[in-house]
Amino acid sequence: MVAEILKIDDASIAKAAAIVRRGGLVAYPTDTVYGLGCDPFEPGAIRRLFGAKGREAKPVSVLCSSAAKAGALVDLGSRGLELAREHWPGALTIVAPMKKRLPPQLTQGSAYLGVRVPAHKECLRLISRCGGWLTGTSANISGRPSSRTAAEAQGQIGLAVDLILDGGRASGRESTVVRIKGVEVTILRTGPIGVGNER
């Protein structure tokens, strides 16, 4: 059965959060593209997510409701904290050493995890209702274009998710991704935010 699309509002956010809390899978709008969300601490949900995307062995990032929630998962260090203060909420994913244990499939065995605080009010409300963390991979089949609308998400993964939240058209530009190691910043994916590496 193809997942229902609901306009994003208080009621649909509550419904989506309840689905996530019981191990389900939802698609939702962000400030970049539509995301595919589940509980990042639930191994069964992570397996469903990888199955929905047909995803190869690549780590999945986590969207956070605040910098404090991000800091509970990873060690941002002084340089990461500077970047977070400058660019969060916003389209910058920071990959940093993990502090909290997460299912190995989420990180593909890496000791690093990507985290981001999105600049999207309804998305942040959803993440907060889910406990402050929600997986942040794009709502599409791996290798296909990222979904910029709820209808595009439904067309690609509608049979694999429990609910799709419609927040209108997303910007369509995936976040910049950087890795932090000490004070060194390595750009892993270019995106809307330029990050200097003068240190």
Tell me the C-alpha distance between 123 and 176, whole Å: 18
Q: How confident is the model at residue 55, as a pLDDT? A: 72
61 φ/ψ angles, rounded to the nearest 5 degrees = -85, 170
Q: How confident is the model at residue 199, as a pLDDT? A: 39
What pLDDT, in 10s, does the model give residues 80-133? 999 999 999 999 999 999 998 999 999 999 999 999 999 999 999 999 999 999
Alpha helices in the chain (DSSP H): 10-21, 43-53, 67-73, 77-87, 104-107, 121-129, 150-157
What's the rounded mean pLDDT across residues 135-139? 96
What pLDDT, in 10s, does the model give residues 8-53? 999 999 999 999 999 999 999 999 999 999 999 999 999 999 999 9
CATH topology of domain 4-189: DHBP synthase (3.90.870)
Sequence spans of domains, the chain: 4-189
What pLDDT, in 10s, does the model give residues 53-67? 997 789 999 999 999
